[in-house]
Structure 1
Amino acid sequence: MSDLLPGTTPSHPEPATLLTSDGVSIDAALLRGTATRPVAIAVANGFTGTWRNPGSRMIARSLLAVGDVMVFDFRGHHSSGGECTVGDREIHDLEAVVGHLRGLGYTRVATVGFSMGAAVAVRHAGTFGGVDAVVAISGPSRWFYRGTPRMRLLHFGVEKPAGRWFLRTARRVRVTDREWDPVPPDPTELAAAIAPAPLLVVHGDADAYFPVEHALRIHEAAREPKELWIEPGMGHAERAMTPERAERVARWLAARLDGASGPAPEGK
């Protein structure tokens, strides 16, 4: 990635606590490169993920070739407040991150989401707009999918008291016991509203949670500009990301955000 931008060694993460529009505190951190740029990328983890995981940190470092990177934990996860709603109210978490980056002076902001975070990134862009590119990796196209053993186990985890207890004690994830009311629009219902921002849909053909059909449905529902990558041998979400895949995503973003202009963010 050195051909994109010299000097992308990350700084130490700068911690931040953000407040969502519905009053939930979000644990976040900003990683800055050595160069001054008006571009920022928000990275949204999958369910049970955290920005402190080595895999998530590797992805963030790769994206520093394009712009500064804000990582965060969704509500109900680790040090963030509230309870996880498994893809519903989490769009307000991502909106708080994007709004914070805009407030710092970044003039181009992209979102990159994994699994649940991919669904949130698609729904966020389709609901609020305000982003210049979206990358959805290993995301579901519709709710309540139970077609794989992994997803049946996940549903047990979020729907049953014993499952929620396990998630709370073993994974530091607090899941709400309330059913969705109303059921939020699924990613395919909002994918078309992302345009004119470009959308990249990435999915592995060895994903044990969601088969490739989900990526095809999201891509088909979206309007141009859009792109679809079906990755041979790739599994699910952050754990399936290699440095090479992360760098390819960074190159895709760089090609679409290189028109960035405007003042440098505060503190740079």
Structure 2
Amino acid sequence: MSKSKKIMMWIAGIVAVIAIVLVGSGMYFFHVAEVRAPKAFINNASVKKNNPTYIYDATFNKQHKEIWYQTTPDGLKLEAWYVANPKPTNKTVVIAHGFAGNKNKMAMYGQMFLNLGYNVLIPDDRAAGQSQGNLIGFGWTDRKDYVRWINQIVQKNPQVQIAMFGVSMGGATTMMTAGEKLPNNVKVFIEDCGYDTVKNEINFQAQSMYHLPLVPRFPLVDIVSGISKVRAGYSYGEASSIKQLHKNHLPMMFIHGGADKFVPTEMVYKNYAATQGPKELWVLPGVGHAMSFEKNPVMYASKVQSFLDRYFH
């Protein structure tokens, strides 16, 4: 065998090993990111009594909840809680939860909106809580599910006025839903600490959580995105809050912690710039990820109410 042929075989072997390592790593990180399973890096501790939001959480947990369902076009049965306000109203808010969360985790926000005079619908996303599914949608597949939840509300009450609200991944879900065709009953959106694109968020987490340098982070994120396209039906680049916001002309409020180290604060400015309707931005200095409500529940509720009151009658 000639020397040049040996070199070519040696190079081919190295390339094959690198490819195997990258694909194997891609499958691992896809499982971490998208496959339904407990996520060790997510805090799922219950709200403690000394937490300012505890009373909201505890009060909502005592509310009577109707169980609503929908079946998705791909055959998944999804579940949601509906809580009617004690004072009859045509105002309803739809609440979207965060990554590896569920409707239980949004109880404090549910009570906040009940206090503000709204009915509340809180779904479990696909692959979360009591809903079926094994692959997390990062808001992108979920946006279509939320359109169906909204349509279900309208079918039950054609006079309803609807707001949508979400935190973290739920914030991104809210922004992604805003770019869809929606009934005129939908009046406003409020998002708290949602990311701009799934690709940017995954890339940030690969650097933040695993300290991966640009190489191999650059090909690895694209490999995981390709696996997602095959298995979940979407790539990380197409799953974009910004792209959806370019199609939104309804009012939207953006909330973000100024010291967010999970969804970088810089993302909210890109989202804010992208939306095409009336908008408001509230960045809380020194506040971490999804901590804005806990930091000052009374002020948070007041800010939200002030925004909603401009568009609801």
TM range (shorter): 0.7 to 0.9
Match of 2:96?
44
Match of 1:63?
113
Opposite residue 265 of structure 2, the aligned amino acid is V
- CA deviations over 1:218-246 (Å, ceiling 9, x no partner): 00111230111111222222x54222254
Aligned mates of 2:119, 2:288 — CA distance in 1: 27
Is the 2:140–2:176 contact (alpha carbons within 8 Å) kept by the matching residues of 1? no
Q: Which has the higher helix share?
A: 2
Is the 2:161–2:312 contact (alpha carbons within 8 Å) kept by the matching residues of 1? no
Aligned mates of 1:95, 1:129 — CA distance in 2: 7
Match of 1:204?
257
Aligned mates of 2:232, 2:108 — CA distance in 1: 35
Is the 1:22–1:92 contact (alpha carbons within 8 Å) kept by the matching residues of 2? no
Match of 1:139?
194
1:82 aligns to 2:138 (yes or no): no
- 14-23 vs 213-222, greater mean Cα deviation: 14-23
Provide the identity percentage.
22
Shift in Å, 1:252? 3.3
Aligned mates of 2:229, 2:65 — CA distance in 1: 29
What are structure 1's unaligned runs of at least 5 residues? 1-7, 161-174, 260-268
Taking structure 1 as reference, are residues 89 and 20 closer, same or farther at Cα in structure 2, changes over 3 Å only? Answer: same
**TM-score normalised over the length of structure 2:** 0.66
Match of 1:164?
none
Match of 1:221?
274
Opposite residue 247 of structure 1, the aligned amino acid is A
Is the 2:171–2:193 contact (alpha carbons within 8 Å) kept by the matching residues of 1? yes
Is the 1:136–1:200 contact (alpha carbons within 8 Å) kept by the matching residues of 2? yes
Match of 2:224?
none
Opposite residue 89 of structure 2, the aligned amino acid is R
Which residue, 128, 146, 170 being the options, matches 1:94?
Answer: 146
Aligned mates of 2:279, 2:79 — CA distance in 1: 31
Is the 1:11–1:31 contact (alpha carbons within 8 Å) kept by the matching residues of 2? yes
Higher RCO (CA 8 Å, separation ≥ 6 residues):
1
Is the 2:139–2:176 contact (alpha carbons within 8 Å) kept by the matching residues of 1? no
- 178-187 vs 203-212, greater mean Cα deviation: 178-187
Shift in Å, 1:181? 4.0
Q: Would you say how many aligned residue pairs link Structure 1 and Structure 2?
A: 231
- CA RMSD after TM alignment: 2.9
1:255 aligns to 2:284 (yes or no): no
Shift in Å, 1:63? 0.7
SS of structure 1 residue aligned to 2:137: coil
Aligned mates of 1:90, 1:199 — CA distance in 2: 19
SS of structure 1 residue aligned to 2:267: helix
What are structure 2's unaligned runs of at least 5 residues? 1-58, 222-227
- CA deviations over 1:139-183 (Å, ceiling 9, x no partner): 101222223578646x99xx99xxxxxxxxxxxxxx998264455
SS of structure 1 residue aligned to 2:180: helix
